[in-house]
């Protein structure tokens, strides 16, 4: 079947190498005949080793060209070409900018100082005017960063701002990632908890209205904080409805350094289930799977660090509640064999759900071994 006539592909230049070669990313777009639902932006592979999202975007493209689309959808695989190509032997090291040391996913922009003045200046505007003017303000902020920064930008900032310029034009934003060795999980704004049940993802981390530099925060925090500013001025809006129908998620698709196209197809169906719920696609076939979904708040998503160096044997399976006192892992210390204890078991005093663990069996004291849900509950 040929691709929908409203499908386009462009190439966006996001930087230049020392040789003058351009760094580019592909941008795929579907344009609705009449845009009636919220617009969508989906990107993948901001971190170099986190490649499964590219396979999911491929499967989404294959499915979307057969869908009845109600709004505009933009998809960007290989979002960070520097990170994609940052190899050391057989490993991809593209989690941090090798020049600055900054996490690639902590370079997006949001100036909280623009919120209160905007709300005060536009208190009597119509809902439609507020939405249009605030979206333009977010875009103008990015354009100012890209085109009028007299001291220049780092490579990571230039990439991030150009991606963010695309994301700010959308109402729904999905940033596709993976963990080291990981189960599937979702970072979801607290106000959008109801939407989490429409993804085929069993674990959800509910995150607050705090900007820490990530793409999801850069695209939902401005609207959430604008809502709060209007409420303080006596004009209430409700996040997820009408003017403030804005949602952003970081979607963690499993483990890094590998793709599985069959699993990616299932991941794409889960994303389309969410997009159907939001009115983006009209196809009735996309429905969420029946599963037990657990959630916890970000403050209760805890990291466990190794109490000693050694070789670790990860024992606890992902995604299953582990009762207090049950072992998550054991550490082998061959240097203790014959005159000490070569095996050390690691457990916690709380009930937890293991979500991800370190990628290597060789750990130093203080290595982050696991991330776990505590104080979890069912959605």
Query: Which residues are registered as beta bridge partners of 11?
Result: 26
The enclosing H or E element of 58 equals helix 52-64
Query: Going by DSSP bridges, is the β-strand pair 203-207/184-189 parallel, antiparallel, or unpaired?
Result: parallel
d(CA 328, CA 375): 17
Boundaries of every domain in the chain: 7-291, 301-378
User: If you average pLDDT over residues 9-27, what whole number do you get?
Assistant: 94
For 199-215, write each residue's pLDDT tens digit. Answer: 999 999 999 999 999 99
Query: What pLDDT is attached to residue 2?
Result: 42
Cβ atoms within 10 Å, residue 151: 4
d(CA 372, CA 116): 37
Cβ atoms within 10 Å, residue 278: 19
What share of the chain has pLDDT > 70, as a percent?
98
Query: What pLDDT is attached to residue 286?
Result: 95
Q: What is the CATH number of domain 7-291?
A: 3.40.630.10
Residue 354 has pLDDT above 80, yes or no: yes
Cβ atoms within 10 Å, residue 212: 13
d(CA 208, CA 217): 9
d(CA 367, CA 316): 17
Sign of CA dihedral 52, 57, 62, 63: positive
The answer to whether 139 and 165 are in contact (CB under 8 A) is yes
What share of the chain has pLDDT > 90, as a percent?
88
First vs last C-alpha separation in the chain? 39
Q: Which two tokens stand for residue 186?
A: 């979702």
Q: Which two tokens stand for residue 351?
A: 């009930």
**Distance set, CA 329 to CA 92, 95, 183, 321 (Å):** 26, 26, 17, 15
Query: What pLDDT is attached to residue 280?
Result: 95
d(CA 13, CA 10): 10
For 297-308, write each residue's pLDDT tens digit. Answer: 999 999 999 999
Residue 243 has pLDDT above 70, yes or no: no
Q: Which two tokens stand for residue 3?
A: 């691709």
Which burial class, exposed, middle or buried, applies to 347 when counting CB atoms under 10 A from its CB (0-12, 13-18, 19+)?
Answer: middle
CATH 2.40.50.100: does it fit domain 301-378? yes
User: If you average pLDDT over residues 58-67, what whole number do you get?
Assistant: 95
User: Same topology for domains 7-291 and 301-378, yes or no?
Assistant: no
Note if the pTM is more than 0.75.
Answer: yes
Cα 96 → chain centroid: 16
Query: What pLDDT is attached to residue 312?
Result: 97
For 141-170, write each residue's pLDDT tens digit. Answer: 999 999 988 889 999 999 999 999 999 999
User: If you average pLDDT over residues 64-81, what whole number do you get?
Assistant: 95
């Amino acid at each position: 079947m040929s691709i929908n006539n409203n499908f386009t592909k462009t190439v966006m230049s996001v930087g230049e190498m020392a040789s003058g070669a351009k760094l580019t990313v592909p941008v795929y777009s579907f344009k609705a005949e009449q845009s009636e639902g919220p617009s969508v932006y989906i990107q993948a592979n901001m971190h170099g080793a986190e490649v499964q999202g590219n396979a999911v975007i491929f499967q989404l493209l294959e499915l979307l060209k057969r869908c009845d689309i109600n709004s505009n959808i933009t998809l960007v695989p290989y979002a960070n070409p520097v990170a994609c190509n940052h190899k050391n032997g057989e490993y991809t090291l593209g989690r941090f900018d090798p020049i600055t040391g900054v996490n690639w996913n902590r370079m997006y922009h949001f100036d909280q100082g623009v919120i209160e003045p905007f709300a005060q200046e536009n208190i009597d505007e119509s809902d439609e005017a507020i939405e249009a003017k605030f979206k333009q303000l977010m875009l103008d902020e990015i354009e100012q960063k890209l085109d009028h920064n007299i001291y220049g930008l780092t490579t990571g900032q230039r990439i991030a701002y150009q991606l963010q310029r695309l994301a700010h034009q959308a109402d729904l934003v999905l940033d596709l990632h993976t963990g080291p060795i990981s189960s599937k999980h979702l970072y979801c704004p607290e106000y959008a908890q109801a939407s989490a049940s429409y993804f085929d993802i069993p674990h959800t981390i509910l995150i607050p209205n705090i900007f820490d530099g990530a793409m999801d925060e850069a695209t939902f925090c401005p609207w959430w904080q604008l809502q709060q500013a209007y409420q303080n001025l006596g004009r209430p809006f409700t996040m997820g409805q009408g003017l403030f129908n804005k949602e952003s998620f970081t979607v963690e698709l499993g483990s890094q350094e590998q793709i599985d196209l069959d699993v990616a197809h299932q991941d794409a169906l889960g994303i389309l289930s969410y997009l159907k719920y939001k009115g983006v696609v009209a196809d009735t076939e996309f429905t969420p799977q029946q599963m037990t979904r657990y959630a916890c708040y970000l403050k209760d998503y805890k990291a466990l660090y190794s109490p000693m160096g050694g070789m670790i044997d990860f024992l606890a399976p992902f995604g299953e509640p582990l009762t207090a006192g049950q072992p998550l892992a054991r550490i082998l210390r061959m240097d203790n064999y014959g005159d000490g204890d070569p095996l050390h078991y690691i457990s916690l005093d709380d009930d937890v759900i293991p979500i991800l663990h370190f990628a290597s069996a060789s750990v130093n004291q203080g290595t982050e071994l696991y991330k776990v849900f505590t104080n979890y509950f069912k959605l």
